[in-house]
């Protein structure tokens, strides 16, 4: 059963043969890969892995988005490897990942990551991990471990079977409108980028352009003219505020074919839905989480004027208990996995999302968080309580408040009148330097004795 992911995808891809599956830039050259070429590259990669005995192993992915990343992921799963999709934006934790999850090999685009290099494949290098020859993978039908955002401690590993990953991809793929192509800006190590964008479009025979990163995106959008794009709220806001306002031309920012932007990973400011609608682009918010293998609802044209995340998909149930959204879905993880043990967070199949919300006429609304988690506009969650405790330890701070701002995490600091605020700023900068990139403080408002500084 472990190779069902490979078998089903290859069967689907064979139906698209000479259509373009991927495009990406290599320098200034546009590289195109047809579905036939994608299949051939996956099979070639399988042969290479088998030549080195990489079967029934634990393999860590620690790399930025690339065509080779996609090829490797399908090839590894095809021969019953358990793959761990590590966050490549988090620095200095490579060894911690490898040791914690007993990774035999790690695939990375980072030079000199580990001492022992096995072989190279395009942009990627296969390194030998610290538990070489460890082959007792967690479960024969489990092939994926993705990770929650993590805030102050280690992110949680989510163990997902090939079958449920396929089901989730198929479910999401049915609920997007049909477009010629899309552009991948979201990281492949997240369920949103992996299942909801990349593979949900591939199973429909559409073309995915792989962006080299946010700093290249403006040029890529105009060059490749995507019909749709998937963003987190931060990127959606900045593109309108920094690009549309000053370029005075939609075509110069997005090309001339873009008709839809799908947004996930955070609550959407509805004013931007109206702003984009005014320039002929439909913005639709989605809702879901990694524990449930991706999206459980997506906005449609009928609810674009509502502060809603759309109707819950068929075969998925939603209910509200004490104000909290609970979801029961057949497409869900097997449990939280720490490298040895599996923890099941589901109660009769129901998952507590930690989000406050409501259901009205079949539409789901998200109103906030139940606990101390703060949902940031970059799609990440952080524990505000831990950060508040650290800020309160700074001498002279009498109160603090944390919220999600337009740019990211916003902190309000209230200090005593007699305290040197510059000292507080230095301590806050020091604290901020130790935070992961995705959870850094982006905005600070200082109040002295209850007055604006």
- CATH number of the domain to which 97 belongs: 3.40.50.980
Tell me which H or E stretch contains 343.
strand 342-343
279: its two tokens: 């320039």
Angle between helices 4-14 and 35-51 (to 10 degrees): 150
Specify the pairing of strand 82-85 against strand 58-62: parallel
Position 384 confidence tier, pLDDT thresholds 50, 70, 90: low
CA distances in angstroms from 13 to 26, 65, 164, 199, 203, listed in the order given: 24, 21, 19, 11, 7
Position 207 confidence tier, pLDDT thresholds 50, 70, 90: very high
Do 254 and 281 form a contact (C-beta atoms < 8 A)?
yes
Position 200 pLDDT exceeds 90: yes
Residues 400 and 319 in one domain: no
Residues 60 and 173 in one domain: no
181: its two tokens: 């192509």
Do 410 and 445 form a contact (C-beta atoms < 8 A)?
yes
* Domain-located, residue 153: no
User: Most confidently modeled of 88-92, 169-173, 442-446?
Assistant: 169-173
If you average pLDDT over every residue of the chain, what do you get?
Answer: 84
- Per-residue pLDDT averaged across 415-428, rounded? 82
Do 160 and 147 form a contact (C-beta atoms < 8 A)?
no
Q: How many domains does the chain have?
A: 3
Beta-bridged to residue 358, according to DSSP, are 365
Lowest mean pLDDT among 150-154, 290-294, 372-376: 150-154
* Domain-located, residue 228: yes
Residues 211 and 261 in one domain: yes
pTM above 0.85, yes or no: no
* Domain-located, residue 142: no
Angle between helices 384-392 and 421-433 (to 10 degrees): 140
Position 303 confidence tier, pLDDT thresholds 50, 70, 90: low
Residues 234 and 363 in one domain: yes
Give the structural domain span for 297: 163-370
Alpha carbon 287 to its chain centroid, in Å, reads 13
Position 452 pLDDT exceeds 70: no
Which pLDDT tens digit goes with each residue over 110-150? 888 888 899 999 999 999 886 655 444 444 467 899 988 64
Position 310 pLDDT exceeds 70: yes
Do 351 and 328 form a contact (C-beta atoms < 8 A)?
yes
SS3 105: strand
Give the pLDDT of residue 145. Answer: 94
Residues 264 and 336 in one domain: yes
Tell me which H or E stretch contains 444.
strand 441-448
- Per-residue pLDDT averaged across 171-185, rounded? 85
Distance CA 169, CA 199 (A): 6
- Per-residue pLDDT averaged across 231-239, rounded? 83
* Domain-located, residue 152: no
47 or 251, which is more confident: 47
Position 261 pLDDT exceeds 80: yes
Position 219 pLDDT exceeds 60: yes
Distance CA 57, CA 257 (A): 43
Residues 126 and 186 in one domain: no
Distance CA 428, CA 437 (A): 15
13 or 247, which is more confident: 13
Distance CA 52, CA 44 (A): 13
């Amino acid at each position: 059963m472990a190779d069902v992911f490979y078998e089903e995808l290859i069967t689907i891809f064979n139906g698209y043969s000479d259509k373009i599956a991927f495009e990406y830039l290599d320098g200034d050259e546009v590289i195109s890969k047809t579905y036939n070429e994608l299949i051939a590259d996956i099979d070639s990669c399988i042969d290479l892995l088998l030549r080195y005995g990489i079967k029934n192993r634990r393999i860590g992915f620690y790399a930025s988005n690339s065509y080779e990343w996609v090829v490797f992921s399908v090839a590894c799963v095809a021969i019953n490897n358990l793959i761990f999709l590590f966050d490549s934006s988090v620095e200095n934790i490579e060894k911690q990942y490898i040791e914690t999850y007993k990774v035999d090999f790690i695939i990375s685009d980072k030079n000199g990551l580990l001492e022992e290099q096995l072989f190279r494949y395009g942009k990627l290098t296969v390194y030998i991990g610290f538990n070489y020859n460890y082959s007792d993978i967690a479960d024969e039908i489990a092939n994926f471990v993705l990770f929650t955002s993590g805030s102050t401690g280690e992110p949680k590993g989510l163990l997902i079977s090939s079958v449920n990953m396929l089901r989730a991809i198929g479910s999401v793929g049915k609920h997007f409108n049909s477009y010629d192509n899309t552009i991948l800006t979201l990281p492949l190590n997240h369920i949103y980028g992996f299942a909801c964008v990349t593979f949900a479009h591939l199973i429909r025979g559409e073309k995915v352009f792989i962006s080299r990163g946010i700093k290249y995106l403006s040029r890529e959008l105009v060059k490749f003219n995507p019909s749709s794009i998937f963003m987190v709220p931060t990127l959606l806001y900045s593109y309108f505020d920094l690009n549309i306002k000053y370029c005075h031309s939609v075509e110069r920012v997005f090309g001339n074919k873009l008709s839809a932007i799908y947004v996930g990973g955070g609550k959407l400011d509805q004013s931007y839905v109206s702003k984009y609608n005014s320039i002929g682009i439909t913005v639709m918010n989605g809702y879901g989480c990694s524990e449930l293998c991706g999206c459980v609802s997506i906005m449609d044209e009928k609810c674009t004027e509502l502060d809603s995340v759309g109707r819950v998909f068929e075969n998925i149930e939603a209910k509200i208990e004490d104000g909290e959204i609970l979801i029961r879905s057949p497409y869900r993880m097997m449990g939280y996995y720490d490298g040895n043990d599996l923890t099941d967070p589901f109660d009769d199949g129901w998952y507590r999302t930690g989000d406050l919300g409501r259901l009205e006429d079949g539409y789901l609304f998200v109103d906030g968080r139940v606990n101390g988690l703060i949902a940031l506009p970059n799609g990440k969650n952080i524990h505000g309580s831990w950060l508040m405790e650290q800020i309160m330890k700074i001498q002279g701070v009498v109160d603090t408040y944390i919220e999600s701002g337009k740019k990211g995490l916003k902190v309000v600091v209230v200090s005593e009148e007699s305290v040197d605020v510059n000292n507080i700023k230095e301590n806050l900068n020091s604290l901020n330097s130790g935070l992961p990139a995705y959870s850094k403080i982006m905005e600070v408002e200082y109040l002295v004795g209850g007055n604006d500084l």
